[in-house]
Amino acid sequence: MSTRNKYVSLFAFTAPALIFYIAFLLIPMIGAFYYSFTDWNGLNRDYDLIGFANFVEVFKEDPDFVNSLWFTLKYVIVMVVLQNVFALFLAVLIESRTRSKGLFRTLFFMPNMISVIISAFMWTFIFSQVLPQIAEKTAFTFLNQSWIGDPKFSFYSILIVSLWNGVGYMMIIYLAGLQGVPQSLKEAAVIDGANAWQRFRSVTLPMIAPAITICLFLTLNSSFKVFEVVYGLTGGGPGRSTQVVTMNIYEEAFSNNFRYGYASAKSIILFALVLILTLIQVGVTKKREVEA
Amino acid sequence: MTKNRASGLLINTVLTILAAVTMFPVYMALVNSVKTQGQMFESVMALPTEFHFENYSQAFNQINLLGSTLNSVIVSLVGIGGIIFAAGLAGYKLSRTPGRLSAFIFIMFVSSMLVPFHSIMISLTRVAKALGLQGTTWGLGIIYVGLGVNMAIFLYHGFVKSVPRELEESAQMDGCGEFQTYFRIIFPLLLPITVTIGILDFLWVWNDFLLPLLMLTNVDRYTLILSTNMLFGEYNKEWSLILAALVLTAIPVVIIYAFCQRFIMEGITEGAVKG
């Protein structure tokens, strides 16, 4: 085939994907960058380039955004740790079973099938109706909290629903990783006199390092973009006390002032954060994988 | 041996308790969805003494179950069909073509997987409006193609490497055109990864909330998730109705889960390992 024909055929095959990709991902991405330097408000046709003014305003005059950023960071840190610890814990326990393995796997993964927003509504019922009633009728009085109305507790409510919904997915990946650990290695460790914890620490963990890298990447990425759980449970309230970054962007662009340019600047900040942190995470864990 | 049996018992107990906690919200939703509001306030834990299925018939109408499900099906079919068609072609060709241009296009697709949806959603609504896609189910499906091809191309690209080249070479010697070779010979061989992509994208599109919220303005076009969201907003505190609606919304995915569990779990590991 001639070189020219080769290019023609390459473009013919990639054209459908490229067209959709350019229209709905690349152009919106470039648009977000461009609008972040403008004062476009969505309603007006005219707008001006205003340099970095939006970015300055975000950090200097927008405590709501800065608070939502801190709240999101707090959520990300706790979620990345808890989601992976729970998922790995469940996976290790399930992997040690023989007959009940399939049943437990099915049960623990099921919440992941239910849409996040539906999960949040279901849990709203649990937090607002079920738990207070249980507290009233039994000795578990600590359950009678304002799970959704009090920002101190609603952080935990958001975590509970997120974990309930998300742990199963990571558990499946860890289970696959655990199945790849050679039996001979575990047996050798037993012969060497290693106890269960030592076997886990020195044999299993290094062997599932790739799964850990993937799960950390996935949880880091998804928890930064958290939206539905908070939207369904607290709506960001009371006030803006549980507002996350994505919700702050959404509010700025679609429900408050339609300041598209300003909201675009915020969305670029979110993008930069996700990009930098995931690159650091992948770099660090990949390096560990090699060493292990 | 006795020590092993004791630890086995302990692990089983821990897993059973955790499984019960995990299932608790679903159980509560099911049990209370057939009670009246009054019975619920009396006791949420009690098993229902009589079954009030009128909650379900009311929810059925309020969320326009048949219409909403049909809308969700259209969005999913257009979206997933488009992704598989476009990404299969591109992933195959990019994997088979050496050279810088091909590598550049591939990296352009793959690197975009890091872009958060929330970073592009504002401009995306403008693009959708300009193209007249806002407010329609097929338009929403088409947008999912644009957002989903990157991961699908990545998965196809990796899978094609395991398909022997001899097949297409001999097909082309027999006079098959390039597209014909792809659709007749290659595409059927890609079935395992196509199933994986189809499942992962179905779960994503079917359960997605924010994009439909931004795109669909007419209640008649609402997806199942959007209709339930609207019901939740309107009938705040009418829990028996809301719970019935939640159960109805969750049923399709749970049925699919029951039948395709193995494929779903394989799909997730497949997607994760390749990713």
pLDDT in tens, chain A (292 residues): 567 788 888 888 999 999 999 999 999 999 899 988 888 887 777 777 787 777 878 888 888 888 899 999 999 999 999 999 999 999 999 988 888 888 899 899 999 989 999 999 999 998 888 877 877 777 676 667 777 777 778 889 999 999 999 999 999 999 988 888 888 888 888 888 878 888 888 888 888 888 888 899 889 989 999 999 999 888 877 778 888 989 988 988 888 777 888 889 989 999 999 999 888 888 888 777 655 4
> B 172-211 residues with CB below 8 A of A?
178-179, 182, 203, 206-210
B145 touches chain A (CB under 8 A): yes
Those residues whose C-beta lies under 8 Å from the C-beta of residue A3, and which sit 6 or more positions away, are none
Contact criterion met (CB < 8 Å) for A228 and B210: yes
With contact defined as beta carbons under 8 Å apart, do A75 and A259 qualify? Answer: no
pTM of the model: 0.89
A21, A225, A271 member nearest B150 (Cβ): A21
For residues A51 and A36, what is the distance between their CA atoms, to the nearest angstrom? Answer: 9
A96, A107, A271 member nearest B22 (Cβ): A107
**Cis omega (within 30 of 0) for bond into B25:** no
For residues A103 and B192, what is the distance between their CA atoms, to the nearest angstrom? Answer: 25
Contact criterion met (CB < 8 Å) for B120 and A9: no
**Chain centroid to CA B30:** 23
How high is the pLDDT of residue B1? Answer: 47
A-chain CB neighbours of B112 within 8 Å are 21, 25-26, 29
CA dihedral B156, B157, B159, B160 (to 10 degrees): 110
pLDDT over threshold 70, residue B39 = yes
Q: What radius of gyration, in Å, describes the C-alpha atoms of chain B?
A: 24
* Shortest distance, CA A152 to any CA of chain B (angstroms): 22
Inter-chain CB pairs, A–B, below 8 Å: 252
ipTM, two decimals: 0.89
Tens digit of pLDDT for each residue in A212-251?
Answer: 888 998 899 899 999 999 998 888 777 788 889 899 889 8
